[in-house]
Amino acid sequence: MKISRRSALVGTAAASLPRIAIGQTDQRPAITVAVQKISNTGVLEPLREQSSNVSERWVQSILETPIARSQQGKLERVPGLATSWKRLSDTTVELSLRPGVKLHNGDEMTAEDVAFSFGPEHMFGTGLPADIPPIAKRHWPALARVEVVDKHTVRFINSTPDVTMEGRLSAGGSEIVSKRSWLEQGDWAANSKKPVGTGPYKLREFKPDSALILDAHEDYWGGRPPVKSVRFLEVPEAASRIAGLQSGEFDFACDVPPDQISQIERDPKLAVQGGLVLNHRIVVFDHHHPQLANPLVRLAMAHAVDGQAIVDALWASRAKVPAGLQWDFYGDMFVGGWAVPKFDPARARDLLKQAGYKGDEIVYRARNNYYTAENATAQILVEFWKQVGLNVRLEIKENWGQVLDKAGPRGVRDWSNSAVFDDPVSSIVNQHGPSGAQQTNGEWTNAEMNTLSVALETGTDMAKRKAAFARMLQICERDDPAYIVLHQNAVFTGMKKNSPWRAPPSFFMDFSKAAWRA
């Protein structure tokens, strides 16, 4: 029998393969996920790409935090890159790192990578883009240093007491990157588009405003990922995402409006999953606006809003009006008996009369359905305010730069606020405190609020911390309103009914083994 050279080479190659690979192909699916937006800033770096309803979709697939959150549980803290952690003092937490964790470049992750991720090259240095150190400071307001004890042990040392250090280690902004890859890529801008981390999926391609493609990280410490590749496509219009799901172009469609759920579920091959997440939809004030300088006008705007009507009309009662800017997730720090300002048009009119409001215009800036049902919500709010005598003009903007632009009057704008870990510093301080975005944007400030923010961040007496938080709610929602809480957010994802995927109680599109229950 004659054996060709090609046959011999094929036979030799086959003989060199592991037995399990011979005659087999990768049966894992390659999936496509339609999202409203991939990145607001054109980068994949969590310290700049901060939006929960955008970057949280994919970031944990690429980059992981030292302490993880149970995405298929109740978002409680669980071992991740760190197998355990312990308090050495009010200012120091020591982590035992998981041995053998492979980064996407093939290196083993060590304490050196962890320390580098919190160092000057990545977070706090003077040579970084101007916006990055302030954002890092928001996440870690008093981090003094990170000490490498040995290859798999690292200590986080604060300059002040902080009972929330473990929570910060599980939150966005604390992701671990490869030290070697970061230094080789040369600068912050290059690394911001090519993250090299430890997650179950690694970057193949990123086209801002278009697509993000991830491939399975076969050496992932948590086991072989169940999906071969994940392609996120930016599809701004909800109707187009749903149409693509129905045609089979997409495997998943994110941010399904509640009024479209029944339309999807009428197709016997499709289903919808989702529910409440740790995020509230809010509107925030710029108190420099001539009509909003008086806090009575802002409080009147809050009393004019019927949050339950928004929940019923736009969310099919699948969302809810919460107890102000807090969540049950806070546990013992939850302030019982608190509520958003009551819907009371008569009270709103009286407050406007006390304030001497004469009907001058207030500008309200919103995005074009960046948030689910944003346009409809904005139109309803304008009508609520009109009914009590407020003259509010809605402006639809294309991007956040236009929303925050100081040119022209800034009055009210749309936003959201998340509990990124189980303490109020993660929300009320992170967004509305002295280093929070609302204050750094120059929209609002309050001296007592800022003093209480420091007390909340550095205090160790939990009863005193809770009292401080209660006072902060009183300031921000009654005495000197910084925002109006509209409703707790809910997230719904359309999918193929036979998919083994399970939605987490967050914005994250979790394609881990725990979520893919084949």
Contact 286, 506 (CB under 8 A): no
Q: Average pLDDT, whole number, for the chain?
A: 94
Does 13 reside within a domain? no
pLDDT tens-place string over residues 283-323? 999 999 999 999 999 999 999 999 999 999 999 999 999 99
Q: How confident is the model at residue 127 (pLDDT cuts 50, 70, 90)?
A: confident
Neighbour-count burial for 393-404, b at 16+ CB within 10 Å, e otherwise? eeeebeebeebb
Same domain, 319 and 430: yes
pLDDT at residue 428 tops 50: yes
Residue 316 is part of a domain; what is its CATH number? Answer: 3.10.105.10
**CA–CA separation, 423 and 488 (whole Å):** 17
Residue 452 in tokens: 């209480």
**Domain boundary pick from 200, 228, 245:** 200
**Residue 22 domain-assigned?**
no
User: Does some domain include residue 401?
Assistant: yes
Banded model confidence at residue 481, pLDDT cuts 50, 70, 90: very high
Q: Which residues contact 478 (CB under 8 A, 6 or more apart)?
A: 299, 341
Say how far apart CA 453 and CA 441 lie, in whole Å.
17
> What is d(CA 122, CA 93) in angstroms, rounded to the nearest whole number?
21
pLDDT for 24: 61
pLDDT tens-digit series, residues 128-184 = 999 999 999 999 999 999 999 999 999 999 999 999 999 999 999 999 999 999 999
Average pLDDT of the segment spanning 109-136 = 93
Asked if the structure places residue 518 within a domain, the reply is: no
- 335 with 470: CB under 8 angstroms? yes
| pLDDT reported for residue 512 | 96
Q: Which of 413, 415, 479, 405 is nearest to 446 (CA)?
A: 479
Same domain for 284 and 195, yes or no, is no
Residues 343, 478 within the same domain = yes
Mean pLDDT confidence for 54-61? 96
Helices (H) then strands (E): counts for the chain: 19, 16
Yes or no: say if 429 and 436 are a contact pair by the CB < 8 Å rule.
Answer: yes
Q: Domain of 172: which CATH number?
A: 3.90.76.10
Top-ranked range on mean pLDDT: pick from 105-109, 125-129, 187-191: 105-109
Cβ atoms of residues 62 and 195 within 8 Å:
yes
**Alpha helices (H) in 4-88, listed in sequence order:** 5-16, 52-55, 59-62
Residues 24-44 pLDDT 10s: 689 999 999 999 999 999 999
Residue 14 lies in a domain: no
> Which domain covers residue 325, as residue numbers?
278-489
Residue 395 — pLDDT band, cuts 50, 70, 90?
Answer: very high
Tell me 475's DSSP state. Answer: I
d(CA 449, CA 431): 12
**Is residue 323 a part of any domain in this protein?**
yes
- Label residue 23 by pLDDT band (50, 70, 90): very low
Position 11 scores a pLDDT of 42
Q: Are residues 173 and 72 in the same domain?
A: yes
Say whether both 283 and 185 belong to one domain: no
Q: Is the pLDDT of residue 226 over 70?
A: yes
Q: What percent of the chain has pLDDT over 90?
A: 92
Domain boundary at 200, 231, 258, which? Answer: 200
Q: How far apart are CA 267 and CA 176, in angstroms?
A: 42
User: What is the phi/psi pair of residue 244, to 5°?
Assistant: -65, -35
Tell how far CA 473 is from the center of its chain.
Answer: 22
Tally of domains in the chain:
2
Average pLDDT over residues 464-488: 98
Q: Which of 166, 200, 234 marks a domain boundary?
A: 200
pLDDT over 80 at 262, yes or no: yes
Mean pLDDT of 228-248: 97
| pLDDT band at residue 19 using 50, 70 and 90 as cut-offs | very low
Q: Assess if residue 152 is contained within a domain.
A: yes
Question: Per the domain annotation, does 18 fall within a domain?
Answer: no
Q: What is the pLDDT of residues 326-360, one digit of tens each?
A: 999 999 999 999 999 999 999 999 999 999 999 99
Same domain, 62 and 188: yes
